[in-house]
Amino acid sequence: MISLGDLYLLVYKNIFEKKKRTFLTVSGIIIGIFTFTFFIFVSQGLSNAISDQFSSLGVNVLVVQPANSGQGGPSGITSSLTNTDMNKIKQVVRGYDYITGQIFYSGQYEFSREKAVITTISFENKNLEKVQSDLTMEAEIGRVLKSSDVGSVYLGHKAANEGFDDKVVTVGTSLKIDGKSFRVIGIGKEKGDLFLDNSILMNIKDIRELADLANDEFTVIRVSLLEDVDADLMQAKIETKLNPNNDEKTVEVTSPKQAIDQFNQILGVLNLIIGFVSSIALFVGGINVMNTMYSNIIERINEISVMKALGATKSDIRNIFLVESSALGLFGAIVGFFLSFGLAKLLGNYLITIGYNVPIYFEFDFFLKIIFITAIFTMLFGTYPALKAAAVNPADNLRDE
């Protein structure tokens, strides 16, 4: 019986004796593993990035907005909600931290003769500090906005550094919008949040004057729930209260959690599609392994006969070819995995440099699963050639020789 050490030495010699054939054999496996794992790395990175984006807005948050709201009104303000709507929400929602009105305004700012359209946001003064804390808004230069800061603005990192082409906005300078000047009191730290980093925060009194809104009008209403509250139940209650006519919705209620779930569902479908395409490449790779192993039997029939004549058993011969086929799969899986991880990491680093945080992580458990499954897969394809090799009759072959 062949010892385990001799078995692996023999397999190593047989695989690397013909390097070109080995590479061509495992090329299908490399392509299959590369395609599948590369998409997994990128999709997981996107999923993490999207989750981080929405989590920064508050996972246990509901956003109430007019149904089918489109662009309209001055400078892109949508149809509005009122204090009456907010009071109705407070009647049905139990277990909330705060409920506040929020206004979006899309206007053209001017700084140092450069013009740019930037989204401006504002919250009710009584909840301003809580919302800024929830959104983890921190000033890199200057300070965050206070409820008393009328005529002042706080800029997101990208709005200040990239909003006006090559002009960088600094604390103490002024921005103009609709002919009115606003003093910059703070520049935010970069959060990796596409919306907040590119926005401007303004006092609600100022934004209402710009948008020509009444004192009780808001673009949306933000409902921040306590951690142990059932967000789905509260969402249903708000929709029922504010949509008395089920045939015609007047408001829509959304949550960051819903957006995350929908995005993950889309990624799940894409994962299935890519997995199917990758499995075809793996199947072709398995056929290549079977073909190579079968060719090896024909070429090495004398070697097999001599080994049997010297005392090797059928199980010894079978094990040699089974280990060989699984080693080919192992080699292809390792190469394909690290090629895909390397490329995904380069792509992730490039996206970070242009402002999109798509984290790519190496997960050892995932690596082990890929290696194990591929090795078993190729071993199955090598089973038939292994059994054929084990069935070689040394007496017949050596007599012919």
Task: Judge if 28 and 100 occupy the same domain.
Answer: no
Q: State residue 126's pLDDT score.
A: 92
Task: Judge if 214 and 278 occupy the same domain.
Answer: no
> Of 219, 259, 212, nearest to 101 (Cα)?
219
- Residue range of the domain that includes 202: 60-254
Task: Judge if 173 and 206 occupy the same domain.
Answer: yes
Task: Judge if 184 and 93 occupy the same domain.
Answer: yes
Dist. CA 222–CA 214, nearest whole Å? 18
Q: State residue 71's pLDDT score.
A: 39
- Examine the fold and report which residue of 233, 254, 275 is the final residue of a domain before the chain moves on: 254
Q: Are 120 and 200 in contact (CB under 8 A)?
A: yes
Q: Are 105 and 209 in contact (CB under 8 A)?
A: no
- Report in angstroms the alpha-carbon separations of 202 from 54, 182, 208: 22, 9, 10
Task: Judge if 244 and 119 occupy the same domain.
Answer: yes
Task: Judge if 335 and 216 occupy the same domain.
Answer: no
Task: Judge if 200 and 224 occupy the same domain.
Answer: yes
Task: Judge if 42 and 75 occupy the same domain.
Answer: no
The residue-averaged pLDDT of 265-286 equals 78
Task: Judge if 185 and 311 occupy the same domain.
Answer: no
Task: Judge if 173 and 105 occupy the same domain.
Answer: yes
> Per-residue pLDDT tens for 279-321?
787 787 778 778 877 777 777 777 777 777 777 788 878 888 7
Q: State residue 182's pLDDT score.
A: 95
**Is the predicted pLDDT of residue 328 greater than 90, yes or no?**
no
Dist. CA 249–CA 64, nearest whole Å? 12
Q: State residue 250's pLDDT score.
A: 82
Q: Model pTM?
A: 0.62
8-state DSSP, 189? P
Q: How many domains does the chain contain in total?
A: 2
Task: Judge if 19 and 135 occupy the same domain.
Answer: no
**Is the predicted pLDDT of residue 266 greater than 70, yes or no?**
yes
Task: Judge if 297 and 318 occupy the same domain.
Answer: yes
- Examine the fold and report which residue of 228, 254, 280 is the final residue of a domain before the chain moves on: 254
- Examine the fold and report which residue of 220, 254, 288 is the final residue of a domain before the chain moves on: 254
Contacts of 355 (CB under 8 A, 6+ apart): 158, 194, 197
Of 374 and 49, the structure prediction assigns the larger pLDDT to 374
Q: Which of 168-177, 199-208, 385-394 has the lowest mean pLDDT?
A: 385-394
